[in-house]
Amino acid sequence: MEQGTIDIKKEHQQKIKGVISEVGKVVVGQEYMINRLLIGLFTQGHVLLEGVPGLAKTLTVNTLADVLHLDFQRLQFTPDLLPADLIGTMIYNQQKSEFEVKKGPIFANMILADEVNRSPAKVQSALLESMQEKQVTIGETTFKLDRPFLVLATQNPVEQEGTYPLPEAQVDRFMMKVFVDYPQKHEEIEIMRRMSNMAFDASVDTILTKEDIFQIRNEINSVKISESLEKYIIELVFASRNPKEYKLTDEANYIMYGASPRASINLNLAAKAVAFFEEREYVLPEDIKEIAQDVMNHRIILNYEAEADGVKTQDIIDAILHKVPISK
């Protein structure tokens, strides 16, 4: 590898640390969530965030968009939202006596779909189609969405009455499902101090440009992953589908459906991103294990027996990681 290419890569890796540091000027803690959002951005994968209200999900995404100098749109999903409110519609121009396109908020680089489970299926479908196809159709015209394009959706695990849970097949389109937890005591003290100070400055500097993001994507793509680790990823995914073959006898009683092929693809991509963030040119088994929960937890569907016994998807994934050996 040429020296100039190495220097640019090192510069990008330092800038990523700078992004996390800059977001930290506004958001206390939540480094885990920020890390996962950056992995999604740099590997073209959408992220589903789940956590109770007040954990700075919206603030984090908004601040990250500012640091990356990306167009940002926040959409509050409600039961009366229509697909046209998301993608746009045709409006009649009386002066010109013709219909013209009015684009919706989906035409941005970063979309925060707040409480996506509060909107009916038609709106969810419009969002998920744009995520998959990277384009929308208004009237008879198809429009390409801006690049980079990243959807960050949030789900509220409380107040489930009046919600429309995303179907399992649709949730699979998200690269990762990240659980956002409460802050630590020392973090919450800092949050309280910052947010109760009316003079607090929430402005941040731009660290990365769109061109940087596209270059980083190429650099992550060039990270090496050995054939043995590729096989290890496949074994992890197949263990979720055929647990008895991997001596996961107890877990087999709880799994209704295993992970889809998207899990294999995204484990590979996300592990490369983890390695890149750690300034390595190759993937280690630990990179795959680190990202496995987020990539697989929404792709393994458990039965009612699991719910009755209090078994969670995270428990199943932990068992899979413990039992499945690394291929040689």
Most distant CA pair in the chain: distance in Å? 72
Neighbours of 1 (CB within 10 A): 8
Neighbours of 5 (CB within 10 A): 11
Residue-wise pLDDT tens digits, 208-222: 888 888 999 999 999
pLDDT given for residue 20 in this prediction: 86
DSSP 2: -
pLDDT given for residue 161 in this prediction: 54
pLDDT given for residue 163 in this prediction: 63
Name the β-bridge partners of 146.
none
Residue-wise pLDDT tens digits, 109-160: 888 888 888 887 788 888 888 888 888 887 777 888 888 888 888 887 665 5
Residue-wise pLDDT tens digits, 265-320: 999 999 999 999 998 889 999 999 999 999 999 898 888 988 888 889 899 999 99
pLDDT given for residue 225 in this prediction: 92
Distances (CA, A) of 170 to 3, 48, 58, 105, 119: 44, 11, 22, 21, 14
Q: Average of pLDDT values for 221-250?
A: 91
Its CATH class, for the domain covering 224-323, is: mainly alpha
pLDDT at 25 over 60: yes
pLDDT at 162 over 80: no
Q: How far apart are CA 302 and CA 143, in angstroms?
A: 38
pLDDT given for residue 3 in this prediction: 60
What burial class does residue 148 get, using C-beta atoms within 10 Å of its C-beta: 0-12 exposed, 13-18 middle, 19+ buried? Answer: middle
Distances (CA, A) of 174 to 15, 49, 151, 166, 311: 26, 10, 9, 11, 23
Residue-wise pLDDT tens digits, 32-81: 888 999 999 999 889 998 887 777 788 888 888 888 888 888 888 888 88
Query: Hey, where are the domains in the chain?
Result: 3-212, 224-323
Q: Check: CB of residue 61 under 8 Å from CB of residue 12.
A: no
pLDDT at 5 over 70: no
pLDDT given for residue 47 in this prediction: 92
Look over the chain and give the mean of its residue pLDDT values, rounded to a whole number. 85
Q: How far apart are CA 283 and CA 273, in angstroms?
A: 9
Q: Check: CB of residue 178 under 8 Å from CB of residue 40.
A: no
Residues with Cβ within 8 Å of residue 90, at least 6 apart in sequence: 99, 100, 101, 102, 138, 139
Q: How far apart are CA 323 and CA 248, in angstroms?
A: 8
Q: Say yes or no: domain 3-212 is CATH 3.40.50.300.
A: yes
pLDDT at 101 over 70: yes
Flag the least confident range among 44-58, 84-98, 99-113.
84-98
Q: Average of pLDDT values for 15-30?
A: 84
pLDDT at 97 over 80: no
Q: How far apart are CA 266 and CA 295, in angstroms?
A: 7
Which structure tokens are listed for 91? 């409006």
Degrees (nearest 5) of the Cα angle 151, 154, 158? 165
Q: Average of pLDDT values for 21-30?
A: 82
Which structure tokens are listed for 223? 């990270």
Name the β-bridge partners of 74.
112
Answer yes or no: same fold for 3-212 and 224-323: no
